[in-house]
Structure 1
Amino acid sequence: MKKFFTAAALATAITAAGTTGFAAANPFEDVAADHWAYDAVAQLAADGVIEGYGDGTYRGDQEITRYEMAQMVARAMAKSGVSAADKAMIDKLAAEFADELNALGVRVANLEKKVDNVKWTGELRYDYKRARKDGDANHKNKNFIRLRLDPTMTVNNHWIAGARIEIATDMDSAKNAGGENTSTSHVEAQRAYAQGTYGNTQITLGKFAHWTSIDGGMVYDDNLAGGRVVFGKDVKVSLLASRIDHVNRNGFLTTNGGGTASWQAIEIYSDNGKKFSWGASYNNLKNKDLFTNELRKDSLHIWEVGLGYRFDKNWKLSGAYAGSNADAVNRDRNRAWNVQIDYKGANKKKAGSFGIYAAYRHIGVGAVVVPTYDCININQKGVELGFTYTLAQNIQWKGAYFWGKNMGANDSSQKANTIWTRLACFF
């Protein structure tokens, strides 16, 4: 049976919203006072979110249909600056009036696009790292807090634009920090990009995040400037042409003097979600001055392969190997590999969920650009154990312990160990 609401009753509810006698007013006909929608509308009215016909009136001499109520909900959906609690109420009302909202068609779609055109997500994280190696008395613990803001803007049905703004602070000095290896001022726009999707093809242009998919980011996991095209369904092909500059990051460019390099890469990998996964890639980096001095060549070539097998929903084994033409005198430093077994996995939306892993890593500086690992450093090899635990919805705790050896030119085979932990809040 089609339900009707009286505008007079709704007006009474809104008038009573600011009084202690509000509970006596029921804004709905034929809806019990203990129905969830009663409290939702009452609170939205008290917060000034429900706006009637849009001109500040409720036309008390007219009846309001579910369709007209859906229009009010649609206007509420289009409002900006609504609190998280009110937004949750609006979402529930939208579900209640889903049929009527769908009947409104393009008008509601336009309102939703208007309010959702820019979406903000982000992360606030605290990192602590304690690294030690035998015979080194000049060690220092590192404490950083970072705020990352990630806006995403809808351009049209195919294209979005995105960015990342990061503010980092060294907790020891209370100064802004430019990265793990520096204490320079750091408030920066790390990303600014456009991304288009056409069927199984994705195009990304600008400064954007990139990671080598076949190894979970062993060779690279950071931002770069350029263009990337990824196409395919079960088997994907990624083509990359970019420039990178990593003065304050771990990797070959920093370790051997820093600077900007051009980077071209092709990567082929499976992406079908099945038990068995695989991939291979070739990367060509050019920096005439740096690579000529270090390699007596004008470019660095890195090739890699990766395999993975998921035994069931809890257990997964993966591995990757990378080699290059770098530092031929010390073969340990021109190779990198990682073998890792994972048990379960933490879901940041689900409190109490967790994941643990054990890995053997060998990270030679010449075979990686900017590796994803937070605990082990470049030119180190050894065992790493780690975990992720969701303390509460959108709050995660991570930790890892590494013990092994260094592979640097001046500290080869020197024992090393690192403790690393992170507390992250997502929004």
Structure 2
Amino acid sequence: MKRVTLVFLSLLLLFCFTVNVYAAGIYADVPPSHWAYQAVKQLTEAGIITGVSKDTFAGDKPVSRYEMAQMVFNAMTRYDKANADQKLLINALKAEYNDIYSKLLEHDKRISKLEKTQDKVSFSGVFSARYRDVDYLKSGTSSSVTNQIRLRLNGKINVDADSYIGFRFVTKAPNKNNLFNDSWTNVGGDNHMTANGTNNTYDNQIDRYYYTAKAGSNMALSLGEQALIIDPMNIIVDSTFFSYGGGKAKFNLDHLGKDAALTVQYGSFYKGATLTGFTGWGNKSATAFNNVDIASEILNGKINDINYTVGHADFRNNTAGVDLLNYTFANVGFLVAPKVGLSYEYANNSADSQGRFNAAKIVYGDQVLKKKGQWNVSYRYISAQKNAIFNRYAMLEGAAGSNTNDPENVTDAQITYAFSPTTTFFIQRMTVDDTIASNNANDNVIWKAELDVKF
């Protein structure tokens, strides 16, 4: 661009010395005594530059790219009025600009190709590291202290404007040879063997792969291995861990509130799974849970300042014709004040008697951590009857009766701080109380300190 500037300045100088001088005082803010008066006057009369108005030149104002382009254009259009020397300079200017333009055009093509590739495939994920201490209180069992890590990587391949392929890689996926909610890898430990030496490997693997497409303006369809999302608090099923193979249809229902939608899921949760050490649930045998299908209908949205979710989920062994878990549930959440959020969830498992749970949560502080320095404190209380929470699917780590269906009360207190928009740290204390006095050995307290880094 330096050569272009020199050529253009030379061109301007030629015009300065070859254009006739007319009456003085062409701009009110450029007096005849100004050192650049003659140049401004002659370039204006040549039609190459203009002032900001008829009487004002504004000589101290920076020249924009648009104004520079206009000056070059003016010089080009005066080509037929130029002498031989001026035409040589104009031709040099045109050649220089054409050379730069062709290089920029080729550069833009490469950038556009790269941008298209980047837009087609995208990745996101989270890496987590935590310290966990479980005190078994009254059982006489020694505390369990572990340092653990976890990686989850989500991928998305855009097929076209209306469809994409999604997949997920995890460092520890559900293992149907010993199905349990355990997504963490112990640092320096052997995570591939059970106590009796049976190989129950939790492999690093791609555990989700599905295709999603719009079907009209108000519906989307998904097919493949995808997240099993049921209740907002993830108490019925930990959707961050478990998947199902099947189909999902989502219908937008704007007349039922902001972002209102009905989601229907159907597919196979697990086939041929083994729940090691499991003796049964409610009035169902352990083997009945080896084959599980899932069907659910969930409606959610927002009316005024209230977020709501209502739904139904049926876990069933269709091969044996056994209704395993049959939940009806509802969740509401709203802000009491800008820094105070409340939510409440109710669910009932009608496949067994005494299958209800209630959960209430309060969050004080920043409700969503998006900036450095934001923080919040949360407290949650869960009261569950004996057949309410199936611990093999739930996210409640170390909950009482992991191999039973005892009633329990759970409290969960947590403080979270954001080091950056993508990095958060929290300390959590969870207490689990088995409300059957004779089973108080199941009581425990869990302490956790966790760092989560999103990318």
State the TM-score, normalizing by the size of structure 2: 0.62
Are the aligned partners of 2:158 and 2:164 in contact in 1 as well (CA < 8 Å)? Answer: yes
Q: Which runs of structure 2 are paired with 1:36-51 in the superposition (5 Å)?
A: none
Tell me the CA shift for residue 76 of structure 1: 3.1
* Alpha-carbon separation, structure 1, partners of 2:157 and 2:205: 19
Once residues 249 and 286 of structure 2 are traced to their aligned partners in structure 1, the CA distance between those partners, rounded to angstroms, is 30
The correspondence for 1:204, drawn from 197, 206, 222, is 222
Q: CA deviation at 1:129?
A: 2.4
| 1:282 and 2:312 matched | yes
- Displacement, 1:320? 0.8
Residue aligning to 1:25: none
Alignment of 1:307-346 (within 5 A): 307-328=332-353, 331=354, 334-345=355-366
Q: Percent identity over the alignment? A: 15
Alignment of 1:222-241 (within 5 A): 222-231=242-251, 232-233=253-254, 234=257, 235-241=260-266
The 1:158–1:192 alpha-carbon spacing in structure 2 relative to 1, beyond 3 Å, is: same
Residue segments in structure 2 that go unaligned for 5+ positions in a row? 6-62, 66-93, 173-183
Distance 1:315 1:66, change over 3 A: farther
Query: What is the Cα deviation at residue 365 of structure 1?
Result: 6.7
Question: What SS is found at the alignment partner of 1:75?
Answer: helix
* Contact 1:385–1:400 (CA under 8 A) maintained in structure 2: yes
Distance, in Å, in 2 between the alignment partners of 1:304 and 1:113 is: 43
Counterpart-to-counterpart distance in 1, 2:429 and 2:325: 31
Letter in 2 for 1:267: I
- In structure 2, the partner of 1:118 is 121
Q: What residue in structure 2 maps to residue 419 of structure 1? A: 447
How far the C-alpha of 1:425 sits from its partner, in A, is 1.3
Give the whole-Å Cα distance in 2 for the aligned partners of 1:122 and 1:420: 21
SS in 2 for 1:367: coil
| 2:156 paired with 1:152 | yes
Provide the secondary structure at the position in 1 that maps to 2:234: coil
Deviation at 1:156, TM superposition (A): 0.9
Residue 66 (structure 1) shift? 7.4
* 1:22-421 aligned within 5 A: 61-63=96-98, 69=104, 72-73=107-108, 75-76=110-111, 78-79=113-114, 112-133=115-136, 134-168=138-172, 170-176=185-191, 184-197=201-214, 198-213=216-231, 215-220=232-237, 221=239, 222-231=242-251, 232-233=253-254, 234=257, 235-245=260-270, 256=286, 259-269=290-300, 271-272=301-302, 274-287=304-317, 297-328=322-353, 331=354, 334-345=355-366, 349-363=370-384, 366-368=387-389, 370-373=393-396, 380-406=408-434, 411=439, 415-421=443-449
Residue 114 of structure 1: SS of its match in structure 2?
helix
**Aligned-partner SS, 2:387:** helix
The CA distance in 1 between the partners of 2:204 and 2:367, in whole Å, is 30
Distance 1:72 1:409 in 2: 74
Aligned residues of 1:176 and 1:187 also touching (Cα < 8 A): no
The residue identity in structure 2 corresponding to 1:388 is: T
Alpha-carbon distance in 1 for matches of 2:341, 2:431: 23
Q: Distance in 2 between matches of 1:381 and 1:60?
A: 81
- State the distance in 1 between where 2:421 and 2:380 align: 27
**Does the 8 A contact of 2:398 with 2:444 survive in 1?**
no
Distance 1:390 1:355, change over 3 A: same
Q: CA deviation at 1:373?
A: 4.5
Distance change in 2, residues 1:150/1:338 (3 Å):
same
Alpha-carbon shift at residue 136 of structure 1 (Å): 3.5
AA in 2 matched with 1:351: K
Query: 2:314·2:323 contact (CA, 8 Å) conserved in 1?
Result: no
- How far has the Cα of 1:266 moved from its partner? 1.3
CA distance in 2, matches of 1:188, 1:61: 55
Q: Mark the CA change 1:192 to 1:62 in structure 2 (over 3 Å): closer, same or farther.
A: same
Deviations 1:314-341 (A, max 9, x none): 221111111113553xx3xx22221011
User: Do the aligned partners of 2:292 and 2:315 also contact (CA within 8 Å) in 1?
Assistant: yes
Deviations 1:159-209, CA, capped at 9 Å, x for gaps: 111100112473354345699xx9734212111011123423222211111
Structure 1 CA distance for aligned equivalents of residues 169 and 380 of structure 2: 32
- Cα gap change, 1:276/1:344 in structure 2, threshold over 3 Å: closer, same or farther? same
CA distance in 1, matches of 2:276, 2:376: 27
Question: How far did residue 363 of structure 1 move?
Answer: 4.5
Give the counterpart letter for 1:399 in structure 2: I
Which residue in the other structure is 2:58 paired with? none
* Shift in CA distance, 167/299, structure 1 to aligned 2, threshold 3 Å: closer
CA contact (8 A) 1:317 1:342 kept: yes
Q: Which amino acid aligns with 1:149?
A: L
Alpha-carbon separation, structure 1, partners of 2:248 and 2:139: 45
The number of equivalent residue pairs is 333
Shift of 1:227: 1.1
Distance 1:236 1:61, change over 3 A: closer
Cα contact 1:407–1:413 (8 A) shared by 2: no
The alpha carbon displacement at 1:248 in A equals: 7.6
The C-alpha deviation readout for 1:202-233, integer Å capped at 9, x for no partner, is 222111113225x3322222322111112123
Task: Work out whether residues 175 and 183 of structure 1, in 8 Å CA contact, stay in contact via their aligned partners in 2.
Answer: no
